[in-house]
Each structure stands twice: as structure tokens, then as C-alpha cells.
Chain A
Amino acid sequence: NAGVTQTPKFQVLKTGQSMTLQCAQDMNHNSMYWYRQDPGMGLRLIYYSASEGTTDKGEVPNGYNVSRLNKREFSLRLESAAPSQTSVYFCASTSSVQGGIYEQYFGPGTRLTVT
């Protein structure tokens, strides 16, 4: 049981380049999330998918797009990378535990640098 996996672990992009961050979970969770983590800012929600076939914006969606490919996989795409998108990106998934209460599991993170 691998839990939540992410690829790649590290990436360096030039301004204007595009890339897709991949995330997969094998826990049969319905909900999946993408966060970015910057020093002193905590974890900020970019996009989430409450169930297969749905996606919604979080706190900081500008410059990103997402695809919920199936129940297991949720990808994050940067169409035209900017230095402000330099960050550590975490994918997470949740199981609902009685009455809509969530316990969240995180992937290992992707460290992205945009020059």
C-alpha cells in the first residue's frame, strides 16, 4: 500500500515553460487536493476534487489547471511557469470518517524552482 505518490520529486523550469505534476493514491479515497507550501505561509489550497469528475478552485488557483483523470489520479498543470510559482507542492487525499469528517494523507511533495 503506497499511500499517496507524487512525481517528480524535484523540477527546475525556465519562465514560460509548462509542466504537469502527477499524483496518485491507492487508498480508494474520493477527495484529492493540491497545496503549495511557501515559507511562513503554511499550506495553501490550489485546487481540489471532491469526487471523480469534479474539480473546484481553492485559495490560490491562478496560473494552474487540474485534471481528475480517474478516482486514483489527480494532476496539476502549470501552463506558463512564473518565478512566483517556485514552491513545494503537496498532493493529498482524504477519506470521510462518519458524517463528513476528513483525515488527510499527504504525498512526499514536489520541489519546483522556476528561474
Chain B
Amino acid sequence: GENVEQHPSTLSVQEGDSAVIKCTYSDSASNYFPWYKQELGKRPQLIIDIRSNVGEKKDQRIAVTLNKTAKHFSLHITETQPEDSAVYFCAANRDDKIIFGKGTRLHILP
């Protein structure tokens, strides 16, 4: 079955710098890769997703890249701001399910 690995588990970056979170997946049939942001005490919310027919997608300061051959996908946040502090989850689909990575806690340092 699908296995999604996420790294790092914790990431601290200076405000204004970039943050990169990386994930790998195991099921070559996966074709949908969402990223969720979860603030403390809140529900996870979708911030960006990518389908397998594209290699990169960008939305303002957030971008996601996908390498299907290597089964890697990454989240890039540029010009980080204090409100980017949260836990981020990558995920991949398997049949009717979505399998999540274990999350990355992102700290934005002043």
C-alpha cells in the first residue's frame, strides 16, 4: 500500500527566508498530491495540490514540485512570514483514500 514519508519533522527558518519540506511516496499509481496546513488547535486546511500531469504549481508565495520518476514532491514557501508558523502535512492518494505524512512543524523566527 501507499507509504508517505515526510522530512524534516521540525524546521526553523528566519522570517523572510525560504522553507522547503520534502515528501516521498511509494505507490506509482498515486496521481494526486495535496498539502495541508494545520494551525494550533485548528483543523487541517488544503493550501495547494498538484496532479501527476504537471511538474510544478505555484500560488503566490507557495509552490509545489513533483518528480514522478523519483516519487518525490516538495513544498516551497518563499518570503516566510510569522503566520506561516504551523504544521504542514503532505499526502498522496491511494484508490479512494488519502494517506498523510507525519507532518512538519514549521517555526518562523523573528
Interface of A toward B, CB cutoff 8 Å: 31, 33, 35, 40-45, 48, 50, 56, 58, 90, 94, 99-109
Pairwise interchain contact A31-B96, C-beta atoms closer than 8 A: yes
Residue tally, chain B, CB below 8 Å to A: 22
Sampled A-B contacts (13; CB under 8 Å): A33-B97, A35-B100, A42-B89, A42-B101, A42-B103, A43-B89, A45-B97, A56-B96, A58-B97, A90-B44, A101-B32, A101-B93, A103-B49
Pairwise interchain contact A106-B93, C-beta atoms closer than 8 A: no
CB-CB < 8 A to B34: which residues of A? 103-104
Number of residue pairs A-B, CB distance < 8 angstroms: 53
CB-CB < 8 A to B96: which residues of A? 31, 48, 50, 56, 102
CB-CB < 8 A to B63: which residues of A? none
- Cβ of B91 to closest chain A Cβ, rounded Å: 8
Q: Is B102 an interface residue (CB 8 A)?
A: yes
CB-CB < 8 A to B43: which residues of A? 90, 106-109
Could you give, for residues 94-108 of chain B, a 1 whenever the CB lies within 8 Å of some chain A CB and a 0 otherwise? 001111111100000
